[in-house]
Amino acid sequence: MLTAAYRCSLVFGKALRVQRPKAHTTRARRHLDCVQARRGLRTGQPNAYKLVYTTLGLFNRILIMFLPPIRQLQYLVALYDHLHFGQAARHLNVTQSTLSTGIRELERFLGVQLVERTNKSVTFSDLGKRIADRSRYILMQTEDLIDEAKAYHNPLSSPVKIGGIHTIAPYVLGTYAVMLRKQMPSIQLYLRESTTRVLVDELQNNSLDLALIALPFEAGSVETRILFREPLYLAHHAHTALMVPGETDFDDLPDESLLLLDDGHCLRDHALAGCRLKNHKKVHTFGANSLQMLVQMVDSDIGVTILPQMAIDAGILNGTNVAYQLLPIDQFHRDIGFAWRKGHSRQPLLNDIIDAIDPMT
């Protein structure tokens, strides 16, 4: 420990003389302090530590003066997201000139050009992209710091942002919100709906706390917890000529008769994994963006589709001529669960929320 402190006194003592030049007598006095600190550390004198820590404290205050403001990092990230000065400025509720000036000051501070500006476009250099990503991480950690401080006194002081995918959120997210409000009356909930990829990106960017998704999903630096396993059903017109009711060999279907959601929807991936098609010509080239559209097409006997149980329980087939049959659950299923970012500052609260929803707790 003495050796480490002794080295620090050497390094920071020299740094102070370079960064804070003063009168000759002041420099001599500081040099004498450092010499006394080193001599005291060798002999074990307690006052020597005080001298070293005073030297370190002065050096740290000098460093603080040379850190870029958080606001400039916010400007850079907003411009990277929007690639338009006007849109980025509106997003942060500042003027365009303020944002542009802040980014130029950041570039001057770093000594590099991050953004290439033209009259028609904004382009980030490779270094600019990397620094924007690092800035986003710094902002995310700063927000976590503030949230953790607030949560120390009141875990529900900030809103909880929960998202769900298109094939789950319309059917259960509202029910979950009612359950949470009964058990946590002061909770503030922000709910949204999107694709799995978008929700996971928002988790990693700290703009979302929890995502209700279908698992498994390769989500990178997020943690997951499964709530339950959901069976899938084959839906077809009650008097269809495309298949024999009761049979589930999808390779026997006519070409382009299996209707699925567009790419990007994980239900499509779960359905294809269960079908194990040998001939992918069976899949219709048309892709829907909602289960309601698939049901309308099946009701017109254009094809057959695969639906989750929660959609059927919610009455998606009411008023149609669509029949359905349970598919083998070992082959056709999806696991419904929550995902959140690793190291979330409000992890205990997220655990309480999931416990309040989990049917197994």
Q: Write out the two tokens for 219.
A: 């989500």
Q: Is the pLDDT reported for residue 163 higher than 50?
A: yes
List phi, psi (to 5°) of 205: -90, 5
Q: Is the pLDDT reported for residue 295 higher than 90?
A: yes
Model pLDDT for residues 227-286, shown as the tens digit of each residue: 999 999 999 999 998 998 888 888 889 999 999 999 888 899 889 888 888 778 889 888
pLDDT band at 61 (very low <50, low <70, confident <90, very high): low
The Cα-based distances of 125 to 74, 78, 86, 138, 244 in angstroms read 18, 16, 20, 20, 59
Fold topology of 229-333 = D-Maltodextrin-Binding Protein; domain 2 (3.40.190)
Mean pLDDT of 5-19: 41
**70-153 is a CATH 2.40.40.20 domain:** no
- CA-based nearest residue to 230, from 245, 209, 213: 213
Residue 3: the pLDDT is: 42
Residue 164: the pLDDT is: 96
**160-227+335-357 is a CATH 3.40.190.10 domain:** yes
Helix (H, G, I), strand (E, B) or coil at 256: coil
pLDDT band at 345 (very low <50, low <70, confident <90, very high): confident
Domain 160-227+335-357 shares a fold with domain 229-333: yes
pTM over 0.75: no
Residue 343: the pLDDT is: 84
What secondary structure does DSSP assign to 216-255, as a single string? ----SSEEEEEEEEEEEEEEEETT-SSS-TT---GGGSPT
Q: Write out the two tokens for 151.
A: 């949560």
Whole-number Å distance between alpha carbons of 361 and 351: 11
Whole-number Å distance between alpha carbons of 67 and 62: 10
Give the whole-number percent of the chain exceeding pLDDT 70.
81
Q: Give the domain ranges of the chain.
A: 2-64, 70-153, 160-227+335-357, 229-333
Give the whole-number percent of the chain exceeding pLDDT 90.
53
Model pLDDT for residues 191-237, shown as the tens digit of each residue: 999 999 999 999 988 889 999 999 878 767 789 999 999 999 999 99
